[in-house]
Homo-oligomer: A and B are copies of this chain.
Amino acid sequence: MSDSSDFRDTLEVFENPSPSRNFIIEHHCPEFTSVCPKTGQPDFGTIIFTYVPDGVCVELKSLKMYLQRFRSEGIFYEAVTNKIMDDFVAVVKPRRATIESRWTPRGGLSSNITVNYPDEG
């Protein structure tokens, strides 16, 4: 697939309006689609971001454009969820974050992947 550092350039941020508080922001993105690298078939899922911002918050329109960059990308469930976390942490630098991906069924099985930052062991 493409170089992940390109993708994260799409993410934009704005100044946290209340940095002295540890408040929680949650974004549900039910229109995610990428491509299965094995079958070449499209995958469909929901990506859920839950984070405590530090200096900045992610800008919603840029988050949408960032997620759209995966539309033609061949990448597995586990890899894409970890890559989104890597990009998110690199740009937004949250105090804490959870990223969850929930995928529509394939072959009668459906999958969810959950990544936490920092790692809770």
A contact set with B: CB distance below 8 Å: 14, 16-18, 20-31, 33, 41-42, 44, 53, 57, 60-61, 63-64, 68, 71, 76, 78-79, 81-82, 85, 104-116, 119-121
Contacts and interface: CB of A to CB of B under 8 A. Distances in A.
Contacts of A114: 23-24, 26
Contact of A30 (B108, B112, B115): B108
Integer count of this chain's copies in the complex: 10
Most chain B CB atoms below 10 A, which of A44, A107, A120: A107
Contacts of A64: 107-109
A109 B21 contact: no
A28 B120 CA distance: 24
